[in-house]
Amino acid sequence: MNEQNTENCEKSILQLRHSLIQSLKAVDQEIISRLNKSIPLISDIGKHLINASGKRLRPLLTLAMAAQFNDNSKKPILLAAAVEFIHTATLLHDDVVDESILRRGKKTANIIWGNEFSVLAGDFLFAQSFELMVETNSIEALSSLASASCKITQGEFQQIQIANKPETSLNDYFEVIGKKTAELFGASCKSGVIVAGGNVEQQNAAYEYGFNLGLAFQIVDDLMDFNNSPNKMGKNLGDDFKLGKTTLPIILAWQKSNPKEKQFWIKTLKELNQEPNDFKNAINIFNKYNIFNECKKRTEEFISKSIKCLEKFPDTIIRDNLIGLANESIERSK
């Protein structure tokens, strides 16, 4: 896919970004001003991470959900900044846990400043996110994001527990990515609707939209590890494979593999005994069983569910763009 096509297939997210540009700028200002108020080293680490993370997708969802109700208050902006802080805190701690070296092509904070400062900076961002939420004065929005934060950590634990286990059940896998990724998407959306005054049915629909979008998003992210397209996530091809991470294509391939192929997965993913050609061999097995297509089908199912939830919202351009954003998220992996 060339740059032109990438832009075409991301039309809705660009439109959304364009129509919410003032609010997005206010979110960035809020983030920077909170970081500047802390001690210099925290501020440096926070800015490194915030600048490295690209799309502000989660804050965009919070703002867009609120914008459907013509909310012009500062509350969605505070929440959107809080959501980005939570996300950034999890990235910082993830990189410590995974001993990562690069994120989006830049050195990780744990490499530049060491594990101890990464742990503490993550703690600061997390605590700061709750200070931001407090300022919205909405205990319901706070509740939604506190619950998501709890589940993220549980998901991270469970992700470690299923690592190097291609025999993991689909149920267990979906539980992990549900907690690790989709919950924050869900809460980002729901909290936006809460502070903008949407009713309970709309709050729940927003959560479901975000949650299903998050599941799709994570599967696409899993696929990108094996997909040689221009990769805007900055992920390196084969990173997950090298670590033996248990992702959707791996699980589906394991289920279909013959004994010889299972031996291959055991050697490469359980024993982490990998030879130069093994990544290519893995892709050959995926192609043999049409795994990429099956992943895509599952992604499309989540996206359909996601879009259906938007029926609860008024017919606005913002809603059209949220539908488009969901559809475009499948294209990311092509």
DSSP string of 119-144, one letter each residue: HHHHHHHHHHHHHHHHHTT-HHHHHH
Give, as ranges, the residues between 30 and 49 that touch its own copies (CB under 8 A).
Answer: 38-39, 41-42
The nearest distance, CB 158 to its own copies, in angstroms, is 6
Tell which positions 48-77 bind its own copies, by CB under 8 A: none
DSSP state of 179: I
Please give the Cα distance from 275 to 153 (Å, whole number).
Answer: 33
Nearer to its own copies, 32 or 323 (CB): 32
Q: How many residues does the chain have?
A: 334
Query: What is the spatial distance between Cα 64 and Cα 76, in angstroms, rounded to a whole number?
Result: 9
Q: How far is CA 263 from CA 84, 254, 273, 278, in A?
A: 42, 10, 11, 12
**Residue 157 touching its own copies (CB under 8 A):** yes
Written as one letter, the residue type at 216 is A
Q: How far is the CB of 138 from its own copies (least distance, A)?
A: 8
List, in order, residues 6 or more apart from 41 with CB less than 8 Å away.
113, 117, 121
Give whole-number Cα distances, 69 to 76, 181, 294, 310, in Å. 11, 26, 37, 13
Stretch that binds its own copies, among 10-18, 152-160, 181-189, 227-235 (CB under 8 A): 152-160
Stretch that binds its own copies, among 66-74, 126-134, 289-297, 322-330 (CB under 8 A): 126-134
Q: Would you list the DSSP string of 237-267? A: TTHHHHHT---HHHHHHHHH--HHHHHHHII
137 is an interface residue for its own copies by CB under 8 A: yes
Tell whether residue 146 is a contact of its own copies (CB under 8 A). Answer: yes
CB of 157 to its own copies, least distance (A): 5
- Beta carbon nearer to its own copies, 33 or 287: 33
Q: Does 123 bind its own copies (CB under 8 A)?
A: yes
Structure tokens that stand for 131 in this block: 């200070």
Is residue 160 close enough to count as binding its own copies by CB under 8 A? Answer: yes
Task: Tell whether residue 149 is a contact of its own copies (CB under 8 A).
Answer: yes
User: Collapsing DSSP states into helix, strand and coil, what is residue 276?
Assistant: coil
Where does residue 77 rank: exposed (0-12), middle (13-18), buried (19+ CB within 10 A)?
Answer: buried
Amino acid at 277: N
User: Is residue 128 at the binding interface for its own copies, with CB under 8 A as the rule?
Assistant: yes
Give the binding range for its own copies (CB under 8 A) out of 15-23, 154-162, 196-204, 260-268.
Answer: 154-162
143 binds its own copies (CB under 8 A): yes
We find the least distance from the C-beta atom of residue 298 to its own copies, in angstroms, to be: 25
Give the count of beta carbons closer than 10 Å to the beta carbon of residue 85: 29
96 binds its own copies (CB under 8 A): yes
The verdict on 150 binding its own copies (CB under 8 A) reads: yes
147 binds its own copies (CB under 8 A): yes
Work out which of 5, 8, 22, 153 binds its own copies, going by CB under 8 A: 153
Binding to its own copies by residue 243, rule CB under 8 A? Answer: no
Q: Which of 61, 152, 213, 219 binds its own copies (CB under 8 A)?
A: 152
Contact with its own copies (CB under 8 A) among 1, 101, 139, 200 = 139
- Of 58, 61, 6, 4, the closest CA to residue 232 belongs to 6
Chain residues binding its own copies by CB under 8 A are 38-39, 41-42, 90, 93, 96-98, 115-117, 119-124, 126-128, 130-131, 133-134, 137, 139, 142-143, 146-147, 149-150, 152-154, 156-158, 160-161
